[in-house]
Amino acid sequence: MTAPARVLLVGAGNMGTNHARVISRSGDAVLAGLVDPREHVGREIAERFETVWHPSLPDLRDVDAVVLAAATEAHYELAMEVLGQGVPLLVEKPVSDSLLRTREILDLASARDIPFMCGLLERYNPAVLTARSLITDPFHISATRHSPYAPRIRTGVSWDLLVHDVDLALLFMGSDPVAVDAKLGHFHPDSSPDSEDVAEALLEFGGGGVAQISASRVGQRKIRHLSVYEADRLVEIDLLRRDVTVYHHVSENSADGAGRGYRQQTIIEIPELITSNEPLTTQFERFLSIINGTEDAAAERATILPPHRVIHQVTSRDQGAG
């Protein structure tokens, strides 16, 4: 019987606490320690999940993997240190605070063939997993991800929200975009000048495919909705309710034979979800599979840079770049 993986967690914030819960509940892993420079926070979370607190990254010789959920600005140095010791790493998005540094991290992981994942969590939403098993030839994607304002989010909406649907669009389309256009808006008085509140992106794909993606953090309700169009059907994905609805248009005729009104026939299918697991649990299980070699580490690494590259193109437009 294989011993549980010893996993060190870095970061005791909201996301770090969720990771601690998932790791500690796993039958295939143990939470080997928790790192956070804030002693009062780190000790409290470590004690809650019955592990040891460290103020900084400890020696990793007895650690099988690391989950990095610290502040984005700390990702680069921590990731390079972990990978430099040859330890598998799961890092929350974005991988780093610049595209150049993200490339450096991925290049090191690839050069040493170290299992590496990025926490693009919507990939593991049960509705997304179900829809991906159904969709074969999409040509148009429309995505909306809006939220009320959250003062604790310091980054702009592109890295906080837009990145998830950009990632999904690339996965559904099966390729990188050939062109990216975007408009950014700054509206909230409490946002910093370099942190956009609204991002509208248009992605063009080879063969004519198009994805329209809208993200906002100045909405009045939470919306997480994705529509994927194929020639003969529409697949609607509600990421909050975690459900999928498939529409097949059959016909449209006059309601009364005299042209007044219309009668439309549409077949509606509601497929059963292929899993009901929490996305964070599914993501962690995949990480463990990559570590033990049952999933392809190189293939996983190859999916990480493309959405980062698109968001870099989107945010660069705020600085006058093309």
pLDDT tens, residue by residue, 218-267: 999 999 999 999 999 999 999 999 999 999 998 777 666 666 777 778 99
- Do 52 and 150 share a domain, yes or no? no
Domain count, the chain: 2
Quick check: is 289 in a domain?
no
Quick check: is 45 in a domain?
yes
User: Residue 274 and residue 132: Cα distance in Å, rounded?
Assistant: 10
pLDDT of the residue at 259:
65
Residue 14 CB partners (closer than 8 Å, separation 6+): none
Last residue of a domain, one of 114, 147, 164: 114
The burial class, CB within 10 Å (0-12 / 13-18 / 19+), for 231 is: exposed
Rounded to whole angstroms, what are the CA distances from 57 to 48, 74, 78, 314? 20, 12, 8, 33
**pTM to 2 decimal places:** 0.93
pLDDT digits (tens, 9 = 90+) for 93-143: 999 999 999 999 999 999 999 999 999 999 999 999 999 999 999 999 999
- Do 180 and 314 share a domain, yes or no? yes
Q: State the CATH number of the domain containing residue 99.
A: 3.40.50.720
What is the percent of the chain with per-residue pLDDT over 90, rounded to a whole number?
88
What is the C-alpha end-to-end distance of the chain, expressed in Å?
54
Q: CA angle at residue 5 from 83 to 36, to 5 degrees? A: 60
pLDDT of the residue at 176:
97
pLDDT of the residue at 255:
64
Any idea which of 35-39, 189-193, 234-238 has the lowest mean pLDDT? 189-193
Answer whether residue 320 shows pLDDT above 90: no
- Do 162 and 265 share a domain, yes or no? yes
- Do 145 and 272 share a domain, yes or no? yes
